[in-house]
Chains A and B, each alone.
Chain A
Amino acid sequence: MGVLKPGSFFSLLKENGLLMESLVLQKNEFTKILKRAMNDHEVIGPREEDGRVYFRPLECMDELIWEFDNTVNNIKDFFFPPRQELYELKEETIVTFENACAKKRIILFARPCDARALKILDKLFLEDYEDRLYKAARDNTTVMGLSCQAPDQRCFCLSLGGSPFGTEGLDVLITAFQNDRLIISLITEKGEDIFKGKGNKAKQEELQSFERVKKKAEESVKREIRIPENLPDQFNSEYWRDVSRACISCGVCTYLCPTCHCFDIVDEENLRIRCWDTCSFNNFTRMASGENPRKNKFERYRQRIYHKFSYYKINFDDFACVGCGRCSSYCPVKMDIVEIVNNAGSSR
Chain B
Amino acid sequence: MKIVGFLCNWCSYAGADLAGISRLQYPADIRIIRVPCSGRVNPMLILKCFQKGIDGVLVSGCHPGDCHYQEGNYYTRRRMLMLRSLLDYFGIDRRRFHVSWVSASEGVKWADVVKKVVEDVRAATEEGTRKVTGTEQIDHDRGN
Please give the residue numbers on chain A whose beta carbons come within 8 Å of chain B beta carbons, in ascending order.
56-57, 77-78, 81-86, 97, 100-101, 103, 105, 133, 136-137
Interface size class of B (residues with CB under 8 A): under 10
Tell yes or no: B48 within 8 A of A by CB. no
Contact in complex: A133, B143 (CB < 8 Å): yes
Interface of B (DSSP majority class) = loop
Contact B142 A100 (CB under 8 A): yes
Give B113-144 interface residues, CB cut-off 8 Å to A: 137-144
Partner of A56, one of B137, B139, B141, B142: B139
Give the total number of A-B pairs whose CB atoms are below 8 A apart: 35
In-complex Cβ contact of A78 among B137, B140, B142, B143 (8 A)? B140
A137 and B144 within 8 A (CB): yes
Q: Is the CB of A83 within 8 A of B141?
A: yes
| Complex interface residues of chain B between 42 and 65 (CB less than 8 A to chain A) | none
Task: Show 8 A/B contacts (Cβ-Cβ < 8 Å), sorted by A.
Answer: A81-B141, A81-B144, A82-B141, A85-B141, A85-B142, A86-B143, A101-B143, A101-B144
Residues of chain A within 8 A (CB-CB) of B137 are 83
A97 and B137 CA atoms in complex are apart in Å by 15
Instruction: In the A-B complex, list the 6 residue pairs whose CB atoms are closest, starting with the nearest.
Output: A100-B143, A97-B143, A85-B142, A83-B141, A100-B142, A137-B144
Chain B residues lying within 8 Å of A84, measured Cβ to Cβ, are 141-144
| Complex CA distance for A57 and B144, rounded to whole angstroms | 13
Interface contact A97-B140, CB-CB below 8 Å: no
CB-CB nearest in chain B for A77: B140
Closest residue on chain B to residue A98 by CB atoms: B143
Bound CA span A221–B141, Å = 35
Could you tell me the distance in whole angstroms from the C-beta of B58 to the nearest C-beta in chain A? 24
Q: Which residues of A contact B138 (CB under 8 A)?
A: 82-83
Nearest CB of B to A74, in Å? 14
Chain A min CB distance to B50 (Å): 14
A133 contacts B144, C-beta separation under 8 Å: yes
CB distance from A89 to the nearest CB of B (A): 15
**Which of chain B's residues have a CB closer than 8 A to the CB of A57?**
139-140
State which of A77, A85, A105 has its C-beta within 8 Å of the C-beta of B143.
A85
Q: Which residues of A contact B139 (CB under 8 A)?
A: 56-57
